[in-house]
Amino acid sequence: MRELFENLNENIKKHDEVIIMTHSRPDLDGMGSALALYKIIESMDRKCYIVSPLKKLYRSLDKAMKLLDDNGINFEFKDEKEIINSKHVKPLLIILDTQKPELVESDKVLDLINDKIVIDHHIGSLDTINDTIYKYSDANKSSIVEVMAEYLNYLELEISPLIMTVLLSGMVVDTSSFNIKTTARTFEMAAYLAKNGADFVLIQDLLKEPREEMVERYSFISNSEEIAEDVLMCKMDDKIHGNVDIALLAKELLKFEDIKASFAIGRLSHRIVGISARSMGNINVGEIMERLGGGGHLTDAAAQIKDKSVEEVAKELKKIIKDVIK
């Protein structure tokens, strides 16, 4: 990863101003990483700000931001209109936790800035942000938090333990409490965050969910269907949801007795429907997602389909599963 960090250092120092943007409706992984990167850029004496979220934050992220603010840890945010109307001299735009143009917080900001760097850990596809000066994408990484922890470690930079706590919270969510998408390096970086002040008790408080969100999730689960022997599929409504919402559903479905694989389908944007897939290892969900233009691993995979409804994607998924699981 040295190449990524050296490239970031070089390009940050080349620019007087850096804009950080993550995906719309950011989560603890994307925004937590943005906060850490903000402090890294600040340490290099460069002006920096984060693109303000247009849509409601996840409750856990909302609590994390309030905690930081209450402790005097501040960040500068600018909304899309402010950025478009401001007079900046060739800023650098760093996009975290997505490489799809349809999923960024602001497509107008994406089109406005020429110098772009993308850092992502999701499975790539043909429809990605390609006009970049540098792009890093590694689907084997548990989270962007893992990448940012590596960067902090590489720089030997000390930042607030509360930011470390937010970072580790993002890693806990993206790995389903270290049950999926983990490598030895994931645990090493979790230990690094804990060693540098991440508070596990505080993390538990940040991740507590409001009752209405859990009730909504379980209403989707109650309407799930067995589409093949020991395989469950759950369809969400036609509202726009986040990657985390869909992934949580797939994870919960896999907890049922005798279930070997699970699939959750929900809308990520007006044009994109996402599928999150999980498996106990008996069924290769990576192969199934590849047939839908996505990919992943034996036990953890995903796909994003453009210009189709949730129902159409569900129908297509059923056909593929019948073909794969004889």
For the chain, which domains are there?
A: 2-206 (3.90.1640.10), 224-324 (3.10.310.30)
- What single-letter amino acid sits at 70? D
Contacts of 228 (CB under 8 A, 6+ apart): 321, 322, 325
pLDDT digits (tens, 9 = 90+) for 126-185: 678 989 999 999 988 999 999 999 999 999 999 999 999 999 999 999 888 887 788 999
DSSP 45: T
Confidence of residue 100 (pLDDT cuts 50, 70, 90): confident
What tens digit of pLDDT does each residue of 186-205 get? 999 999 999 999 999 999 99
| pTM for the whole structure | 0.84
Q: Is 137 exposed, middle or buried (0-12, 13-18, 19+ CB in 10 A)?
A: middle
Q: Take residue 235 and report the two structure tokens written for it.
A: 């369809």
